[in-house]
């Protein structure tokens, strides 16, 4: 997704996760910029930065938050 598309995203509550030890996706170049663009466009973003974990390496409590965010998106 191009950053310029942030303003075209649906009006919804977004939850973004990024693990600080992710070697596959650079936080500063990707997630930080995407979240900033989403917020600038007026979107509600819950940005969850997960310390000391790698790519897709969420803790059990983070997976619970992920599943809860998905459920909110489905049920409104």
Residue 16: helix, strand or coil by DSSP? strand
Residue 43 pairs in a beta bridge with: none
Indicate the pTM of the whole model.
0.86
Computed from CA positions of residues 54, 38, 9, 43, in that sequence, does the dihedral angle turn out positive or negative? positive
pLDDT in tens, 5-45: 999 999 988 999 999 999 999 999 999 999 999 999 999 99
Q: What's the first-to-final CA gap in the chain, in angstroms? A: 23
Separation between Cα atoms, residue 64 and residue 43, nearest integer Å: 23
DSSP state of 41: T
List Cβ neighbours of 41 (8 Å cut-off, separation of 6 or more).
Answer: 6, 7, 9
């Amino acid at each position: 997704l191009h950053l310029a598309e942030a303003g075209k995203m649906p009006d919804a509550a977004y939850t973004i996760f990024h693990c600080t030890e992710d070697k596959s996706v650079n936080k500063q170049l990707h997630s930080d910029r995407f979240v900033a663009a989403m917020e600038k466009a007026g979107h509600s973003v819950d940005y969850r930065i997960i310390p000391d974990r790698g790519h897709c390496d969420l803790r059990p409590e983070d997976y619970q938050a992920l599943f809860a965010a998905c459920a909110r998106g489905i049920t409104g």
